[in-house]
Amino acid sequence: MNFQAPKGTFDWLPPRSELVLAVREALSAPARRAGYGYIETPTFEDTALFARGVGESTDIVTKEMYTFTDKGGRSITLRPEGTAPVVRAVLQHGLHNGPLPVKLWYSGNNFRYERAQKGRYRHFSQVGIEALGAEDPALDAEVITLGLDGYASLGLTGVELLLNSLGCKDCRPAYRTALQSFLRGLDLDEQTRARVEINPLRVLDDKRPEVRAQLEAAPLVTDHLCEACKAYHEEVRALLRAAGVTFTDDPRLVRGLDYYTRTTFEYVHGGLGAQSAVGGGGRYDGLSEMIGGPPLPSVGWAIGVDRTVLALEAEGLAGGDERAVRVQVYGVPLGEEARREMFTLLRELRAAGVTADMAFGGRGVKGAMKSADRSGASYAIILGERDLAAGTAQIKDLASGEQTAVPLAEIVTTLKEKLTT
């Protein structure tokens, strides 16, 4: 039997996988500079955490979660999103009892049973940040700009920011009533009608063309904001403008999870086709209470690593060289004694900060040099019996073909100087 990755999943392979590491580093670096500490939660949690926190009417909970009963009879779910586990961890370990806001960032895989297509997979990687325990427009603006800073550091220019406010527990009920009244008059299927009664905002997030066409005249949440929410949203907008951030007000923007309040945003990229969102987030002031904790107003985002890679490729920023540089130096030992000496040399080079590899398996010089060329290395170290007798090794410039004998004791120093210059 030939095993393959499950449908809707994929493998990251070199050299493209190097881009994934670069994306994760670039997206998390601005947050680390802003005082966000790393958090890592389990890949699976109690199912009830997501049912309560994400929302029982969402597609994620009703259709997409990977849920199973473990050997102890507990209902367990593979993590479909990162925020609810972070809030659970903060509450469990009492981080909210210390200085606020608690600033955290994370990186990891999530799992949803979705219809597999480009940019939407059943396992996907995200980098996310959460700032918990403060209700402040400046914190919202900070979170938004940190995401943009990550994109900018990757060289992306096609990312656009969409911005909206979903109101609060004081003004949302009136909007909910107006929206339900409108939606009840539409031609919707039975499941969607049921969603209208449970959480009508979920209907606004429906991507089906036949539903979206009927939503053109739907009431807007921004027309129902209370004065406090209007002032809060305007301050977020003013702070973003002061920071030189360009954004588009999108009064129809909602997020796919029940816990969002007030500030809501998405990062979109025009080069991704139907799956244009590369990341997004917002404020979720009631989530802590939903899962049994105290009031803990919070804000955060999650950015798709997979989709960011696709955006880089769409802008031609991913590079196309399948011989992407993986090592700087490649060792070619000729004979058993040379292999032992080369093994020691490579350890010394790596300890000195030089990336280095060597030919394994007793290949001849021709095969070993082919491997050196494929490695993308700048220099090869060729070491044979005559070299050992003379206490030297040959350093070959793989670009020019120039070859020089260098004393073994000076190999590391010589290569470091060459690589520096």
User: Would you list the DSSP string of 354-377?
Assistant: --EEE--SS--HHHHHHHHHHHT-
Q: What is the mean pLDDT of residues 244-269?
A: 88
Q: What is the pTM of this model?
A: 0.88
pLDDT classification of 401: cutoffs 50, 70, 90: very high
What's the chain's average pLDDT?
91
Domains of the chain: 16-171+225-314 (3.30.930.10), 329-420 (3.40.50.800)
What are the φ and ψ backbone dihedral angles of 267, each rounded to 5 degrees? Answer: -100, 125
Q: What is the mean pLDDT of residues 304-333?
A: 84
Annotated binding residues, written as ranges, equal 81-83, 112, 126, 130, 255, 259-260
**Does 326 have pLDDT greater than 90?**
no
pLDDT classification of 323: cutoffs 50, 70, 90: very low
**Does 93 have pLDDT greater than 80?**
yes
Give Cα separations from 251 to 33, 106, 112, 117, 175 (angstroms). Answer: 32, 29, 27, 28, 13
pLDDT classification of 269: cutoffs 50, 70, 90: very high
Annotated binding residues for L-histidine, written as ranges, equal 81-83, 112, 126, 130, 255, 259-260
Give Cα separations from 373 to 17, 94, 356, 369 (angstroms). Answer: 20, 54, 13, 6
pLDDT tens across 347-387, in order?
Answer: 999 999 999 999 998 778 888 899 888 888 999 999 999 99
Q: How far apart, in whole angstroms, are the C-alpha atoms of residue 100 and residue 90? A: 12
**Does 258 have pLDDT greater than 70?**
no
